[in-house]
Amino acid sequence: MPEPATEPVLVLTSFGFLHLPKDATGRPVPPPADRVEDVRDRLRDPAAARDILDLDGLNPRVQDIVLNTPGARELIANLADYADLPAGPRRIAIGCAGGKHRGVDRTTGGHAELWRIPQTA
């Protein structure tokens, strides 16, 4: 008996450009993905906000700061639209400088339109 069809899984990966391996030319090598989103220049660094440097993107305070950064909601909507494409991506990687704040927050649930992007463990 054939197995029931399942929807493709989308894997969201957060990473820090400062912690990536380098290629032969010294350029960082991001994780494999259909789309790599570099948010270092697109979103203000939340580590610059007071008293959150030791927190990570899973902390509600960091999530609030990141989500309210100009351009964050538009980026989420764009990623959600991209994930909805008929062929659909399998992997999206989101990188910031250290991989602790902006990237992690973008790969966690509960934000504008991110419910459209399935979460994986």
On average, the pLDDT of the chain sits at 75
In a domain, 6, yes or no: no
For Cα atoms 79, 42, 63, give the angle at the middle one, nearest 5 degrees. Answer: 70
In a domain, 4, yes or no: no
Q: What's the pLDDT band for 24 if we cut at 50, 70, 90? A: very high
Structural domains in the chain (count): 1
In a domain, 121, yes or no: no
- pLDDT value of residue 40: 85
In a domain, 3, yes or no: no
- pLDDT value of residue 87: 82
In a domain, 87, yes or no: yes
DSSP assignment string, 1-66: -PPPP-PPP-EEEEEEGGGS-B-TTS-B-PPP-SEEEE-TTTS--GGGSTT-TT--TTSHHHHHHH
Q: Pick 19 or 36 by higher pLDDT.
A: 36
Q: Which range of residues forms the domain containing residue 53?
A: 11-116
What percentage of residues in the chain have a pLDDT greater than 90?
A: 9
In a domain, 2, yes or no: no
* pLDDT tens column, 39-98: 888 877 766 777 777 777 777 887 788 788 888 888 888 888 888 888 878 888 888 887
In a domain, 35, yes or no: yes
In a domain, 48, yes or no: yes
